[in-house]
Structure 1
């Protein structure tokens, strides 16, 4: 099941999938030389070493006003989502590299920078999916994505198909406090998504700008009637 998901969503070859899954299984089982013991960086394996626990990344908000100005600049310069109909409808405004770079920097494992912490299961993975928080975005904003392992990505897409759950989730995101201890936990259905404080603050600012833009558009429409 998992290997099929990786082939489908990550575009990997089956041989690559098997290699990466073998890595994950050995890593999560605490196999020798796979990075979850205290002495891996030293290049040897000590069976008496305590298992390393990888903590969820911490990205506290250093200056909220600066963050807001930065997000505002990105928001108003963000390209609109565009599609082009060829043999099939293709999203042509998509910037895959920026989105992945943002998430990699936000959720990289500080103790082993070849691993990334899934925002749902909080386990370290050597690969991930960048999943849109909402369906049908109007702007290309990489902050409106989450870093999820392939299994959790599939779970989230199922939850996202439930309009009431995603509406409630977005409301909770907008109410989340970036000043609380990290990770900032936001529930959706029976699952919990974990965010860094900076990611939450940027999402909140984007949603504020969305609301402001909507009001401005409605005002313009009314004035032209």
Structure 2
């Protein structure tokens, strides 16, 4: 049993007289013959748990305790020993005794770095030597020396936790703070070890950097390389000069290899943006997509000669060759046209048609464009007949009524070019037109908050889909027009139908 100055405490704890045999080991056999029992190890440890913190500062007790634990060879159980507050740490106030943890380190013999002791738990080897700590903990645990590798690993863990703390947050000030912290580490050479560099490359999409646009971004960052950025589009995704060396260090991709999905689109593409994009490897694919999504204007198409990149509507991918038919006998063709010319020719004559116009101009497209616009594609809209999404340039705003009475923004349809032709053809047919109007006014259609759209048929195959709100407004307008009478018409203009 370890030696303790206050013998009374021992006897009170064990409820029996205690003999100190630390300096009388030769008498132990005789004591056993007299019936003296050795205190069980479990009872010893129970005692230590209760009194070790009280007496650990007493040198005589502490040395006896360390010697006792070192000789046990694991008999007390490693878990139990680790939980004893017996490991001395250096700190500014002196020495603190704590349980074992893998956060306790040995100070290197020759300091490899300027270590801030306050940030680390350093074993006070003037009280417990490294060899004594090894003996107490057993052969499977060793207290590590605070080497540069250990410091780097600890700092890298803190660095990654800091970067990942940004997940789900878009606070620009916080992004700036973390970005500048990482840049400072890079400039100080703290990121040079290959294992640290690889760790950061693995979370490259999460690392914030300053772009040429002046904003901080995490995802979608690229190096400009030899490319210039005059417009704002590429500046949003190209790393600024302040972070350029850091970006090269992490081996980020050049902007020249990006695709359409890498762009950050906010508004219309400027002329300068188009010039910037012309430097990219995938320039044509990107421009073609921008045209399709409505980001490039008709004027820009002509100015930069981009018409060849416009997707033509209703074209088919086919390997079929263009049809050919040769001229076998040119004289025969001349004779045929001469005969046609001598007969009565079908002349074009001037015809006057009626076109309905409102007394005051208004934006007829605004209502239906807003009602049926695409949420996924900028500048694109749903066709109410076929249900497909088209760029705005392929959408017509057609008047519902054949002979409109008043100019209502609600009395229009959003139709693609093909469906617009079909609708106008059916609207000109009395049977189809009257059926369509009857279906619009059908009282069997109950408009409620439970349905968001309704399909109104024109014939057995063609239907027009309305949002519930649009249909409700159309029905109310038709109802009130009926109440006023159908005879009133606006000024007629001899031109063409709407």
Report if TM-score (shorter chain) is over 0.5.
yes
Structure 1: 4+ residue segments shifted above 4 A: 15-21, 23-26, 87-92, 94-97
Task: Tell me how far 1:164 sits from its aligned partner.
Answer: 1.2
Match in the other structure for 2:453: 183
Match in the other structure for 2:369: 104
Asked if the contact 1:24–1:125 (Cα under 8 Å) also holds between the matched residues in 2, the reply is: no
Residues 139, 121 of structure 1: alpha-carbon distance in 2 compared, 3 angstrom cutoff = same
Q: Secondary structure at the match of 1:148?
A: strand
Q: Secondary structure at the match of 2:413?
A: strand
Task: Tell me how far 1:119 sits from its aligned partner.
Answer: 0.1
Instruction: Note if 1:146 corresponds to 2:413.
Output: yes
Residues 206, 150 of structure 1: alpha-carbon distance in 2 compared, 3 angstrom cutoff = same
Residues 186, 20 of structure 1: alpha-carbon distance in 2 compared, 3 angstrom cutoff = farther
Unaligned runs of 5+ in 2: 1-297, 318-351, 489-498
Match in the other structure for 2:382: 117
Larger Rg: 2
Superposed CA deviations along residues 146-184 of structure 1, whole A, max 9, x for unmatched, are 000000000111111111111111111112433262321
Mapped to 2, the partners of 1:105 and 1:173 lie a distance apart of 21
Match in the other structure for 2:269: none
Q: Secondary structure at the match of 1:154?
A: helix
Instruction: Note if 1:199 corresponds to 2:470.
Output: yes
Q: Which has the higher helix share?
A: 1
Mapped to 2, the partners of 1:133 and 1:103 lie a distance apart of 12
**Greater RCO, 1 or 2 (C-alpha within 8 Å, sep 6+):** 1
Residues 94, 154 of structure 1: alpha-carbon distance in 2 compared, 3 angstrom cutoff = farther
Mapped to 1, the partners of 2:309 and 2:353 lie a distance apart of 31
Task: Tell me how far 1:113 sits from its aligned partner.
Answer: 3.6
Residues 25, 151 of structure 1: alpha-carbon distance in 2 compared, 3 angstrom cutoff = closer
Instruction: Note if 1:135 corresponds to 2:405.
Output: no
Task: Tell me how far 1:93 sits from its aligned partner.
Answer: 2.5
Residues 22, 95 of structure 1: alpha-carbon distance in 2 compared, 3 angstrom cutoff = farther
Match in the other structure for 1:158: 425
Deviates more, 1:149-158 or 1:90-99: 90-99
Asked if the contact 1:129–1:150 (Cα under 8 Å) also holds between the matched residues in 2, the reply is: yes
Figure out how many residues of one structure are paired with residues of the other and give that number.
146
Unaligned runs of 5+ in 1: 1-11, 30-86, 218-225
Task: Tell me how far 1:90 sits from its aligned partner.
Answer: 6.1
Q: Secondary structure at the match of 1:102?
A: helix
